[in-house]
Amino acid sequence: MTVSCDSVRTWLSAWIDGERTPLSSEDFERHLAECSDCAKSARELRGFLRTVSSAYVPAPVPGALEASIRKLAWRRSFSQRAAPLIAAGAVAAAIALVVFTALRPAPVQAASLADASAWAHEGLAGGVLPLDVEAGNADELSRWLTERVGFRVVLPKLEDSTLVFNGGRLVQLEGGSAAVVSFQRNGEQVSLGIAPRHVAGGPANAPQTELFRNMKFTTSTLRGLHVISWSEGELSYALVSRVPATGRASCAVCHGVNSGLKSVEDFHGMR
Amino acid sequence: MWRRRPQPPRDPAFDGEALGHLAAIHDTALRLCGDPAEAQDLTHDTYVRALNAAERFEPGTSLKTWLLTILHNLFRTRLRDRGRHPEAVLDEESVDVPAPPADEESWHAVTSAQLSSAIELLPQKLREAVVLRDLQGLSYKEIAQVLNLPVGTVMSRLYRGREALKALLVPLLHGEDAPAEKREVK
């Protein structure tokens, strides 16, 4: 028994489009073989769809649009390909940071300016503690430090050819900040710590004191380094180096020729 | 704290395959909105969205259908943003298409330009169905996904759209010029 024309017409488009219908292909084929009207409808629809399909020409894609989208895809693809490399770089940087942190001297809130200066000197000289500022000019370095430590830093000009500024670093004492100025004298690393007198404290390691023109100079050995400490006005100083902490050589670190400070020859001549 | 959402690795063939559908997406955009500049915007935005959301595409399904779904959603959003309700713009109920008096042989003479003109004159809802099926070759189920409609509605629109298209093509086949202005098919 064949299906009705209404039923075939209802599902004809879907069947020709290859979709599933409630009627089987055998139902359609049997009906179309027997019904000329439905067969004509089927031929017309097939012809129409073939025509639409063959007459269809997609609009050309504008070159700028295609270029823009290809660029977009390339960027996305590149960022995805680069992501593992970026992640690996980040891991390497993190490892380097951990290693660097482990190797550098432990950050201190030293009890005294002498201790803090010795710690900073050790790190700076060993290359594991970076300078906060690199400056070869006394005025520039004085200004940079003054803006950050809360007291006025005045450095000697150090126009002596044997003295070279490296730069400066800030360190923390229990009572406030200190500036550490890094020099080289005849290739020897020297650090000068400067802090307000009331926070500077005193070295705990068997200091020796010496009075010179009403100023008390304290010498001590910290971490194998020679430290000379003194105070003048509102500020205290700690000079750290491997240079012997006695005699004119130590004073000459700052009071060199053309330093703007009193000549070291005058000190020792007055003594 | 802002944190970037981790993305699963993308199928390396995705971009290439997506770009392979560019002509189809652009052509559909042009037939949806009828304006070349807006069609370019729609196509570009479709690819921006698709490439940014590539990890959401389900492998094994049709990428072309997925791209067309994004395109259609963007188009409807634009209509809404302009204060034009999509359903009002895409009104189908006013369309009543008489059976076209054309014999099966006459369809062979249809040109590409005539087809484009006739499709442009179709009501939006019917045009979507005809374009997605007869130009882009989507299945009824895929069209239903793109248009977010039941398959039965897709079938109805497709039937009516084809009848309307025939009615629009007949005068063109008889040598009449394409209407200068867009007219409603009644």
Question: pLDDT by residue (tens digit) across A17-34?
Answer: 999 999 999 999 999 999
Model confidence at A258, in pLDDT bands (50, 70, 90)?
low
Cβ–Cβ gap A76/B52 under 8 Å: yes
Contact B119, B31 (CB under 8 A): yes
Residues of A in contact with B39 (CB under 8 A): 59
Query: How much is the pTM?
Result: 0.55
Burial (CB < 10 A; 0-12, 13-18, 19+), residue A161, is: exposed
Average pLDDT over residues B44-69: 92
Please give the pLDDT value at position B136: 95
- Which range has the worst mean pLDDT, A194-198, A241-245, A252-256, B170-174? A252-256
DSSP state of A193: E
Contact A231, A197 (CB under 8 A): yes
Cβ–Cβ gap B111/A57 under 8 Å: no
User: 3-state DSSP call for residue B104?
Assistant: coil
At A121-162, the pLDDT tens digits run: 888 888 778 888 888 778 888 888 888 888 888 876 656 666
Buried b (16+ CB within 10 A) or exposed e, B55-87: eebeeeebbbbbbbbbbbebbbebbeeeeeebe
- Rounded CA-CA distance A155/A140 in Å is 10
Q: What is the ipTM of this complex?
A: 0.80
Give the tokens for residue B102: 């054309």
Q: Is the pLDDT of residue A235 over 60?
A: yes
Chain A residues with at least one Cβ partner in B under 8 Å:
13-14, 17-19, 40, 43-45, 47-53, 55-62, 65-66, 68-70, 72-73, 76-77, 80
| Partner residue facing A72 (CB), from B30, B48, B104 | B48
To the nearest whole Å, the CA of A98 is away from the closest chain B CA by: 23
| Partner residue facing B111 (CB), from A43, A55, A69 | A55
**What residue in B sits closest to A45 (Cα-Cα)?**
B104
Please give the pLDDT value at position B146: 96
Model confidence at B185, in pLDDT bands (50, 70, 90)?
very low
- Rounded CA-CA distance A256/A249 in Å is 10
At B146-167, the pLDDT tens digits run: 999 999 999 999 999 999 998 8
Query: Which residue has better confidence, B93 or A232?
Result: A232
Please give the pLDDT value at position B24: 95
Cβ–Cβ gap A80/B111 under 8 Å: no
Cβ–Cβ gap A44/B155 under 8 Å: no
Cβ–Cβ gap B104/A61 under 8 Å: no
To the nearest whole Å, the CA of B33 is away from the closest chain A CA by: 13
To the nearest whole Å, the CA of A83 is away from the closest chain B CA by: 10
Q: Is the pLDDT of residue B30 over 90?
A: yes
Please give the pLDDT value at position B60: 87
Contact B134, A52 (CB under 8 A): yes
Please give the pLDDT value at position A75: 81
Query: Of A23, A72, A86, which to mutate for an interface test with B (greatest number of B Cβ within 10 Å)?
Result: A72
Q: Is the pLDDT of residue B63 over 60?
A: yes
Contact B178, B114 (CB under 8 A): yes
pLDDT averaged over every residue in chain A: 80
To the nearest whole Å, the CA of B149 is away from the closest chain A CA by: 16
Please give the pLDDT value at position B184: 45
Query: Which residue has better confidence, A50 or B129?
Result: B129
In this structure, what are the phi and psi dihedrals at residue B60, rounded to the nearest 5 degrees?
Answer: 100, -15
- Name every residue whose Cβ is closer than 8 Å to that of residue A28 and which is 6 or more positions away in sequence: A8, A11, A12, A15
Work out the widest C-alpha separation in chain A, in whole angstroms. 136
At B93-151, the pLDDT tens digits run: 455 555 555 565 566 778 888 899 999 999 999 999 999 999 999 999 999 999 999 99
Residues of A in contact with B43 (CB under 8 A): 61, 65, 69
pLDDT averaged over every residue in chain B: 81
Cβ–Cβ gap A69/B15 under 8 Å: no
Query: Of B111, B155, B156, which to mutate for an interface test with A (greatest number of A Cβ within 10 Å)?
Result: B155
